[in-house]
DNA sequence: GCCCGGAGGGACCGATCGGTCCGGTACGCT
DNA sequence: AGCGTACCGGACCGATCGGTCCCTCCGGGC
């Protein structure tokens, strides 16, 4: 034996690919650009990822992990107040689209970029929004909402609207009213008439 | 003199391009595919449109016209009840994303597909969402909302959410609660306590 | 009937696409 | 030291990209 493969190779490639995909879109980025930014050999990329489609799917999986971490961090401080957690998830979304470099929701955008049903990235994207919806339903139930499914769907719609509206109308756009609206919805649905 | 240019050429090309762009995304569609579907010569396309970017912009302008017509038709029957018109605009959005072939909102998607600030299609896309927001503000004002700007932003957010959530979660998704939510918001904001 | 010009279609351009393969280099273990 | 391997970088593949150009065919005004 002579040399052991660097264990962080996959992460390095994914770092480069994520930056590029996020700001330009997966379709607009060639693998050569990923190679160049990563500074690795092309064969190494193809050892770690079978195809560009797989790389895009891995990119979305990483987005999913980041998103989960953000959501966890947003709701952790209020673990005993699920109504508050619902509002905090909305606030976290607003903060994300308000970040300087935010271009579009990676899940919605990538899902639209690859219309073919079998594309591996689509599974990840759909899985993400389903998980989010389920999470909202769970919180709505624990918050004692009259109709947890409806409240969860209202908030899902609201969060989707934040991601969609943010990039086009900016920080001063409709997203500014989102947190207050979420608060109203939660309050209206969780007793406290 | 020998022959006069066919006046419908531009429309024919735009017909073909619109179908393809709508279902696959502008970046995923090559001009050769547009040519093939249209059945025209490549030189004709480049006589009508200076570049692909211009073609994409023209596609969005046509979307804009269609959208305006849909909105006009949705609110025309209730010209004396602006609160009702606000709700009808939301209903029109739900119906659009519920249509079988609907993939993504052309404005949001194309805006994300071409991140370069100077791209001609971006102006059209941003212009559209601004017009929608302005329209909602106007209606909210005429409906006598306490805070027309806030109500308009709430509904903008809601409509954006419908377009964003529809393609991924389908007809049974959160969009089903949108009209009822819009009705609540309008009612709450326009007196009628 | 002739002939001009619009239209279809395709050859062609350089660049880039996703993907494969190979050669040189440098590193780590024995 | 020397061997073996991981890695970088680039050559290379066929296909397609956006875009230019040209040839052929056909239709309409003189």
List, for residues B141-162, the tens digit of each pLDDT value. Answer: 999 999 999 999 999 999 999 9
Distance A130 CA to C7 C1' (A): 51
pTM of the model: 0.90
Q: Does A138 touch chain B (CB under 8 A)?
A: no
Contact of A182 with chain B, judged by CB distance below 8 Å, is answered with no
Per-residue confidence (pLDDT) for residue A174, from 0 to 100: 77
Mean pLDDT over A157-164 rounds to 93
Number of Cβ within a 10 Å radius of residue B191: 11
B29 touches strand D (CB under 7 A): yes
Supply the pLDDT for residue B73.
95
What whole-number distance in Å separates Cα of residue B155 and Cα of residue B148?
A: 11
Q: Is the CB of B41 under 7 A from strand C?
A: yes
Whether the pLDDT of residue A193 is over 70: the answer is: no
- Contact B64/A at CB under 8 A: no
Report the distance from CA of residue B52 to the C1' of nucleotide D27 in Å, as an integer: 30
Which residue of chain A is at minimal alpha-carbon distance from B181? A154
CA atoms within 13 A on the CB side of A47: 11
A40 phi/psi in degrees, rounded to 5:
-105, 170
Tokens of B2: 């020998």
Q: Give the phi and the psi of residue A50 in degrees, each rounded to 5.
A: -65, -30
* pLDDT for residue B6: 73
**Mean pLDDT computed over every residue of chain B:** 91
Q: Which of residues 124-163 of A touch strand C (CB under 7 A)?
A: none
Instruction: State the pLDDT confidence band at A7, using cuts at 50, 70 and 90.
Output: confident
Interchain CB distance below 8 Å, B113 and A156: no
Q: Which residues of A touch B27 (CB under 8 A)?
A: 25, 27-28, 113
d(CA A106, CA A18): 10
Q: Is the pLDDT of residue B34 over 70?
A: yes
Confidence band of B36 (pLDDT split at 50, 70, 90): very high
Residues of B in contact with A159 (CB under 8 A): 161
Q: Which bases on strand D have an atom closer than 7 Å to a protein beta carbon? A: 2-11, 16-23, 26-30
Q: What is the pLDDT of residues B56-88, one digit of tens each?
A: 999 999 999 999 999 999 999 999 899 999 999
**What is d(CA B87, CA B67) in angstroms, rounded to the nearest whole number?**
16
Residue B32's φ and ψ, nearest 5 degrees, are -60, -40
Q: In chain A, what residues touch B24 (CB-CB under 8 Å)?
A: 115
**Is the CB of A168 less than 8 angstroms away from the CB of B104?**
no
Measuring from the CA of residue B54 to each C1' atom, give the nucleotide at the shortest distance: D18
Chain A residues whose beta carbon lies within 8 Å of the beta carbon of residue B165: 129, 156-157, 160
Residue B108 Cα, gap to closest chain A Cα (Å): 7
A47 touches strand D (CB under 7 A): yes
Identify the CA nearest to A182 among candidates B24, B185, B132. B185
């Amino acid at each position: 034996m002579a040399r052991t493969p660097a264990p962080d190779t996959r992460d390095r490639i994914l770092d480069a690919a994520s930056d590029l995909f996020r700001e330009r879109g997966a379709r607009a980025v060639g693998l050569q650009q990923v190679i160049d930014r990563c500074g690795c050999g092309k064969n190494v990329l193809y050892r770690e990822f079978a195809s560009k489609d797989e790389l895009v799917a891995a990119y979305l999986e990483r987005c999913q992990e980041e998103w989960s971490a953000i959501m966890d961090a947003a709701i952790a401080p209020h673990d005993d107040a699920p109504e508050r957690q619902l509002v905090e998830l909305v606030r976290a979304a607003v903060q994300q689209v308000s970040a300087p470099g935010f271009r579009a929701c990676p899940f919605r955008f990538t899902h639209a970029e690859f219309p073919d049903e079998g594309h591996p990235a689509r599974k990840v994207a759909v899985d993400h929004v389903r998980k989010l919806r389920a999470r909202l339903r769970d919180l709505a139930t624990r918050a004692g909402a009259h109709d947890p499914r409806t409240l969860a769907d209202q908030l899902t719609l609201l969060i989707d609207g934040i991601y969609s509206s943010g990039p086009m109308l900016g920080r001063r756009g409709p997203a500014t009213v989102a947190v207050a609206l979420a608060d109203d919805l939660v309050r209206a649905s969780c007793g406290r008439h």
